[in-house]
Structure 1
Amino acid sequence: MFKRGCGLEFLLVLCGLELSWSCPRHCICYTAPSTVSCQAHNFLSVPEGIPPDSERIFLQNNKIHRLLRGHFSSNTITLWIYSNNITYIEPSTFHGFTLLEELDLGDNRHLRSLAEDTFHGLSRLNALHLYRCGLSSLPNNIFQGLRNLQYLYLQDNHLKFLQDDTFMDLHNLSHLFLHGNRLWSLNQNTFRGLRALDRLLLHQNQIEWVDRLAFHDLKRLTTLFLFNNSLIQLSGQCLDTLPALEYLRLNDNPWSCDCKALSLWEWLKRFRGSTSSVGCVAPADVLGKDLKELRKEDFPSCSPTVPSSESRAQTNNLSGTVNPSMNRGVAVGSGGQTHIEHTSRPGRSRNCTKPRNRVSKGKGYNEVHHSKEVMADKEDSSPDFTDGGKHDHTSPDGTVTRRKHKCTPRTTVRPPSGVQQANNRATLVQSLLHVYALFVALITANIDYIFR
């Protein structure tokens, strides 16, 4: 047995691999990087015997109910536990996990609440997946200290309201997915602190009220999706705070195209990026028309908007926010009396978004994801999304438009190192185990010669 074990190790070493002999039952384990794959085995709890030096742990597609302190070690870099039955996470489960770069807790539909300090201390966390978890609220400071986080997936939950400064510490966040929730208002400080944000997806909510300064910190935002909400009005001043915006989707809202839409109409006339249709449902004489296609004559007896210089002065002097609880159902920019003209700064580089093809994260059985699938899943950067899965890429009108100007592209965000190193080694290990049966006789016969 010793000789055969040595023969197998020798064969694997020749191929640059080394099996880990300490592995939970029904799981696949290997080293370089140290990985434990226990996916799709109907585990009811985290399996025992996970080596403490494991860097990557894959537990997706099981029936695990609880996550407790001690289930994993602080050496973990990548942890996938999506598509389980998790209902409870002990607050200290991930305390001390200073190496953790990706945590996927998505598609745990009964995980309806989280403790405030669940993710505290995860200073290297790059991607956090909390999609389809049944969350109805987020506690104060839940994302405190996550200054390296770049991807935050909160779509398809039951969120109705976001507290001010919820994302204040996320200085490097580039992608925020909030679509498919029940949000109805966006306050002045909802997105405060998100100065690096590139994409904000808010479609398929119930948004009917947006503060005119809701996006004031989002100077690098290139993609904003607000389609399929309950918006009646939206001030052009609100969008003027987004100097880098390139892709905007406003379709499937009940737009009122009267005088209160004048500032939005003027903003759309100036905007040079890609926009969807803005279908009017009122007044009756413009029913079914696109706000973008209306003419100045379609706004008879409307007061002119404020000149841009005066508008800037008003913006600089604004303080506080109208209480949304007192104005539910009243949209932003009432009266269309404010307007900002944005002037590009000389020599200012713009953010560019390069489209990439993507494959949804696979739900394969008994194997670690193939490297191409993993890389595609973690490097999604296409400009258009809808509501299915983690990301989607088809725009509501079925088209993808591009800016023609040249600009300096945003630095490519590489996936977490644990995911980046994922490849087909697990598949190769299984193949080698079959090949081993063919070579074992030869290795055994010559073992004395090999180790002489």
Structure 2
Amino acid sequence: MISSGLEFLLVLCGLELSWSCPRHCICYSAPTTVSCQAHNFLSVPEGIPLDSERIFLQNNKIHRLLRGHFSSNTVTLWIYSNNITYIEPTTFHGFTLLEELDLGDNRHLRSLAEDTFHGLSRLNALHLYRCGLSSLPNNIFQGLRNLQYLYLQDNHLKFLQDDTFVDLRNLSHLFLHGNRLWSLNQNTFRGLRALDRLLLHQNQIESVDHQAFHDLKRLTTLYLFNNSLIQLSGDCLDTLPGLEYLRLNDNPWSCDCKALSLWEWLKRFRGSTSSVGCQAPVDMIGKDLKELRKEDFPNCSPTVPNSESRAQTNNVSGTVNPSLHRGGVVGSVGQTHVVHPSRPGRSRNCTKPRNRGKGKGDNEVHHSKEVMADKEDSSPDFTDGGKHDHTSPDGTVTRRKQKCIPRTTVRPPSGVQQANNRATLSQTQSCRANKEP
């Protein structure tokens, strides 16, 4: 029974009490909400009203999710920071109204059935960070065509199967940092034509296919820092006409002749980039590839010339050759950079194969290294978990400079919170905590 003092507090908050409420939980309407966080529940509490739109069960000790625990009226479901080890495949079947599902920080979940999320046609945000996942089954994201935010960071993923994300045609943010990925294949990211941000830092990536990014025409932010990259061809990056922010620091770059195409690409690129520190050959150790001169590659054969692209890079009039209409345009005021579509032919790897046994292990990195020390950089900081953009005090999303492709700003879902800063809420704080999650 809710105490009279708490009842009065809820009334002051303008909340209408719902008397059909699980024990130790707080329920209210408009929208219908059940708040059961931080009560050491070992299982989903009984008595959750069938008309509940928002259900908050975070910071408990729940072990299993089974069919019938929730109703198909649910719109927002938070079950992060529990002890979930098993989710019955049919738990969320028929949940056509569900928009946000947060299963993050369930470190012993480890595996999911292929059809766990099938039918969630309205799902906008799916949180699976820090779940101990070592692999993703085929078609696990099938049919999630409205998904915009997918959080897979800080798992144990070593490999992504081809076409894992092919159905996510509206995905804008994909967070894969803090895993153990070691290669990116030609079709790893196929279908992600709306993707705006791709975070791959703190993995063990040593191999990137020549066409790994071929569908990411709207990508503005790519983080590849703190991996095991020795080389990366500029052709790989030429497939990203909308790129604005690139982070390549803290990789063991070899600044020999194989780095020439990347060096040339960096000279043409008008966006924000990190340092690219050389670790080989001996006479290049400690130097920044970006700061090298043509004379530093004296015995290197020139890369395949692209005279039209080079001419357009230096075109200060800002006009575009109509014959190059198939390329993407990237640039700043007074400068135009035309990126040509990749030439057809045999797909080739644009990184140098390495012995996987000599990887970085856990790839631990200090926070100071995660963000490029670029004083002019206006890119958002995702090192705190990558849950949302920076916002100003009035709640508006910070706008990025040099937009290459006009598009509507995508705001994070209303229920998103920082993964590393979620605090346990007490009942006396329930009014403020549940006012607008």
Task: Indicate how the Cα distance of structure 1 residues 381 and 327 shifts in structure 2: closer, same or farther if over 3 A, else same.
Answer: closer
Structure 1 contact 236–263 (Cα < 8 Å) conserved? yes
Structure 1's 28 and 369: CA in aligned 2 closer, same or farther, altered over 3 A?
farther
Closer/same/farther in 2, CA of residues 356 and 26 from structure 1, 3 Å limit: farther
Q: Whole-Å Cα distance in 2 between the matches of residues 275 and 370 of structure 1?
A: 18
Counterpart contact for 1:212–1:333, Cα < 8 Å: no
In 2 relative to 1, CA 400–261 (structure 1 residues): closer, same or farther, beyond 3 Å? farther
Q: Secondary structure at the match of 1:426?
A: coil
Deviation at 1:411, TM superposition (A): 1.9
SS at match of 2:338: coil
Q: Is the 8 A contact 2:230 2:351 kept in 1?
A: no
Task: Say if 1:248 and 1:35 are closer, same or farther in 2 by CA, change over 3 A.
Answer: same
Q: What secondary structure sits across from 2:424 in the alignment?
A: helix
In 2, are the aligned partners of 1:274 and 1:402 still within 8 Å (CA)?
no
Contact 2:58–2:78, Cα closer than 8 Å, also in 1: yes
The answer as to whether partners of 1:385 and 1:395 remain within 8 angstroms in 2 is: no
Whole-angstrom CA distance in 2 between matches of 1:58 and 1:363 = 38
Asked if the contact 1:107/1:133 (under 8 Å) is kept, the reply is: yes
Q: CA deviation at 1:156?
A: 0.2
Contact 1:124 1:146 in 2 (8 A): yes
SS of the residue 2:37 aligns to: coil
Deviation at 1:251, TM superposition (A): 0.3
Matched, 1:362 2:363: no
What percent identity do the matched residue pairs reach?
Answer: 92
1:126–1:95 CA distance, 2 compared to 1 (3 A) = same
Q: Encode CA deviations 1:160-205: one digit per residue, 9 max, x unaligned.
A: 0000000000000000000000000000000000000000000000
1:17, CA displacement in angstroms? 3.2
CA distance in 1, matches of 2:291, 2:372: 42
Using the alignment, how far apart are the partners of 1:12 and 1:384 within structure 2?
37
Structure 2 unaligned blocks of 5 or more: 428-437
Deviations 1:275-318 (A, max 9, x none): 00000001111110000000101101111111226999999999
Q: Does the CA-based 8 Å contact 2:235-2:261 persist in structure 1?
A: yes
Bigger Cα Rg:
1
The answer to whether the 8 Å contact 1:54/1:76 transfers is yes
- Superimposed CA distance per residue, residues 399-426 of structure 1 (whole angstroms, 9 cap, x where no aligned partner): 9999764767642334547789999999
Alignment CA distance shift 1:385-1:9 (3 Å) = closer
- Decide which moves more: 225-234 or 375-384: 375-384
CA contact (8 A) 1:203 1:227 kept: yes
Shift of 1:58: 0.2
Question: SS of 1:9's equivalent?
Answer: helix
Task: Give the C-alpha shift of residue 384 in structure 1.
Answer: 2.6
Quote how far apart the aligned CAs of 1:385 are: 1.8
1:386 Cα deviation after fit: 1.8
Cα distance 1:72–1:230, how it changes in 2: closer, same or farther (>3 A)? same
**Cα separation, partners in 2 of 1:211 and 1:377, compared to 1, 3 Å:** closer
Matches of 2:26 and 2:360 in 1, distance apart?
16
User: Which 5+ residue runs of structure 1 have no aligned equivalent?
Assistant: 1-6, 431-452
- CA separation of 1:429 and 1:282: change in aligned 2, threshold 3 A: closer
Q: SS where residue 281 of structure 1 aligns?
A: strand
For the structure 1 residues 322 and 26, does the alpha-carbon distance in structure 2 shift closer, same or farther, using more than 3 Å as the test? farther
Question: Which segment is superposed worse, 89-98 or 413-422?
Answer: 413-422
SS, match of residue 150 in structure 2 = strand
**Aligned pairs, how many?**
423
Deviations 1:100-133 (A, max 9, x none): 0000000000000000000000000000000000
Cα gap change, 1:356/1:398 in structure 2, threshold over 3 Å: closer, same or farther? farther
Residues 348 and 122 of structure 1: CA distance in aligned 2, closer, same or farther (over 3 Å): farther
Distance across 2 between alignment mates of 1:28 and 1:262? 62
Given the alignment, which residue of 176, 179, 182 partners 1:181? 179
Q: What is the CA-CA distance between 1:337 and the residue it aligns to?
A: 26
Larger mean CA deviation between 123-132 and 312-321 belongs to: 312-321
Q: Tell me by how many angstroms 1:368 deviates.
A: 34
Q: Structure 2 CA distance, aligned partners of 1:56 and 1:185?
A: 39
Give the whole-Å Cα distance in 2 for the aligned partners of 1:115 and 1:276: 39
- Aligned counterpart in structure 2 of residue 416 of structure 1, from 399, 413, 416: 413
**TM-score, normalising length from structure 1?**
0.73
Q: 1:285 and 1:361 mapped to 2: Cα distance?
A: 23
Instruction: Summarize deviations over 1:131-170 as a string: whole Å, max 9, x none.
Output: 0000000000000000000000000000000000000000
Q: Distance in 2 between matches of 1:227 and 1:371?
A: 12
Whether the 8 Å contact between 2:86 and 2:109 is mirrored in structure 1 is yes
Is the 8 Å Cα contact of residues 231 and 255 (structure 1) preserved in structure 2?
yes
Greater shift, 385-394 or 130-139, is seen at 385-394
Partner Cα separation in structure 2 for residue 83 and residue 275 of structure 1: 35
CA shift in 2, pair 1:88/1:345, >3 Å:
closer
How far off is 1:242 after superposition?
Answer: 0.3
Over the aligned positions, Cα root-mean-square deviation in angstroms equals: 12.1
1:337/1:165 Cα in 2 relative to 1: closer, same or farther (>3 Å)?
farther
Q: Is the 8 A contact 2:381 2:390 kept in 1?
A: yes
Is the CA contact (8 Å cut-off) linking 2:270 and 2:330 kept in structure 1?
no
395-404 vs 255-264, which deviates more?
395-404
Q: 1:179 to 1:11 in 2, by over 3 A?
A: closer
Deviations 1:319-365, CA, capped at 9 Å, x for gaps? 9999999999999999999999549999999999999999x999999
Q: Does structure 1 retain, via aligned residues, the 8 Å contact 2:63–2:86?
A: yes
Query: How has the CA–CA distance of structure 1 residues 363 and 240 changed in structure 2, closer, same or farther, with 3 Å as cutoff?
Result: closer
* Cα distance per residue 1:241-285 (max 9 Å; x no partner): 000000000000000000000000000000111100000001111
The separation in 2 between residues aligned to 1:276 and 1:336, in whole angstroms, is 23
**Greater shift after overlay, 222-231 or 336-345?**
336-345
SS of match in other structure, 1:36: strand
Q: In terms of mean alpha carbon deviation, does 323-332 or 93-102 score higher?
A: 323-332
Question: Per the alignment, do residues 378 and 95 of structure 1 end up closer, same or farther by CA in structure 2, a change over 3 Å counting?
Answer: farther
Shifted more, 418-427 versus 16-25: the winner is: 418-427
TM-score (norm 2): 0.75
Partner Cα distance (2:298, 2:249) in 1: 24
CA contact (8 A) 2:80 2:103 kept: yes
Cα separation, 2, equivalents of 1:143 and 1:413: 21
